[in-house]
């Protein structure tokens, strides 16, 4: 039986992806990443808070797979948050989700999956991988949910060990599958904010992190 590690965020996408893999006969291991972030009350659920971890655990129990939580705080700080702050200081707008996929999900987490003798790491991303002579990253069938642009930095070595079970489904179909599978997160709202900015207020975040480096400058063009 082929083993696959599924990144479980506590949301409906990763829950359905895990269930589909289980039904296809894989030995599925669920892993939820914990970043040790300060949690605040938000309108939408976050992808890495205690609530998300509990939701992922309930899904794993429902479909009968093992579930583990691993601490990724250090790599988030070193690879994502520091770069996020430095890019703004350089006058550029960063995309932390691209770097998260590059350095956390498909580097640190992929290495963890391979260390567990898994053949693949799977996620709930809406994207597809097509193998010809090489591996091609393709858009998802549901173009309104396509996430391939977040994954453009994946290498051939990474793509050969990655599965995107939802690439050929629409979001509506995934919601219906979640209800059919009776998953406890079938109606859970999607988390859309940056994980370390649950309220989307990057200005306040930057003030707290790099306030000593934020200085006023002349307005060069009115």
Cite the active site residues: 100, 195
Architecture of the domain defined by 3-213: 3-Layer(aba) Sandwich (3.40)
Q: Please write the tens of the pLDDT for every residue from 146-183.
A: 999 999 999 999 999 999 999 999 999 999 999 999 99
- For residue 55, count other CB atoms closer than 10 A to its CB: 24
pTM metric for this prediction? 0.89
Helix, strand, coil shares, percent, the chain, to 5: 40, 15, 45
Q: Residue 50 has what pLDDT?
A: 79
Summary mean pLDDT of the chain:
92
Which is nearest to 20 in space by CA: 147, 183, 211? 183
Q: Are 142 and 169 in contact (CB under 8 A)?
A: yes
3-class secondary structure, 74: helix
- How open is the CA angle 81-87-92, to the nearest 5 degrees? 140
> What distance in Å separates the CA atoms of residue 218 and residue 146, rounded to the nearest whole number?
41
The predicted pLDDT at position 159 comes to: 98
Say what the pLDDT of residue 136 is.
97
Total residue length of the chain: 222
Q: Comparing C-alpha atoms, which of 92, 45, 52, 97 is closest to residue 76?
A: 97
For 83-107, the pLDDT digits (tens) are 999 999 888 999 999 999 999 999 9
Closest CA to 47 of 7, 96, 2, 88: 7
SS3 32: strand
Say which DSSP state 110 is in. Answer: H
List, for residues 34-48, the tens digit of each pLDDT value: 988 766 665 555 666
- DSSP annotation of 212 reads G
Q: Where are the domains of the chain?
A: 3-213
Residues of the chain with pLDDT > 90, as a percent, come to 74
Q: Are 17 and 166 in contact (CB under 8 A)?
A: yes
The answer to whether 100 and 11 have CB atoms below 8 angstroms apart is no
- The Cα–Cα gap between 104 and 163 comes to 16
- pLDDT per residue as tens digits for the range 101-122: 999 999 999 999 999 999 999 9
């Amino acid at each position: 039986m082929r083993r696959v590690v599924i990144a479980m965020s506590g949301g409906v996408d990763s829950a359905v992806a895990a269930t589909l893999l289980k039904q296809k006969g894989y030995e599925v291991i669920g892993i939820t990443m914990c970043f040790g972030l300060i949690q605040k009350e938000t309108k939408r659920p976050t992808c890495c808070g205690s609530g998300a971890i509990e939701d992922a655990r309930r899904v794993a129990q429902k479909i009968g797979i093992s579930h583990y939580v691993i601490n990724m705080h250090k790599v988030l700080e070193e690879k994502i948050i520091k770069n996020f702050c430095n890019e703004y200081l350089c006058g550029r707008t960063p995309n932390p989700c691209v770097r998260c996929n590059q350095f956390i999900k498909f580097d640190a987490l992929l290495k963890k999956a391979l260390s567990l003798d898994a053949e693949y790491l799977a996620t709930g991303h809406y994207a597809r991988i097509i193998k010809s002579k090489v591996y091609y990253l393709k858009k998802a069938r549901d173009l309104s949910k396509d996430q391939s642009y977040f994954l453009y930095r994946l290498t051939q070595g990474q793509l050969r060990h990655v599965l995107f079970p939802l690439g050929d489904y629409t979001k509506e179909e995934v919601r219906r599958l979640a209800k059919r599978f009776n998953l406890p997160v079938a109606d859970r709202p999607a988390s859309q904010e940056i994980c370390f900015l649950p309220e989307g207020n990057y200005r306040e975040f930057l003030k707290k992190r790099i306030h000593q480096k934020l200085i006023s400058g002349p307005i060069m063009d009115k």
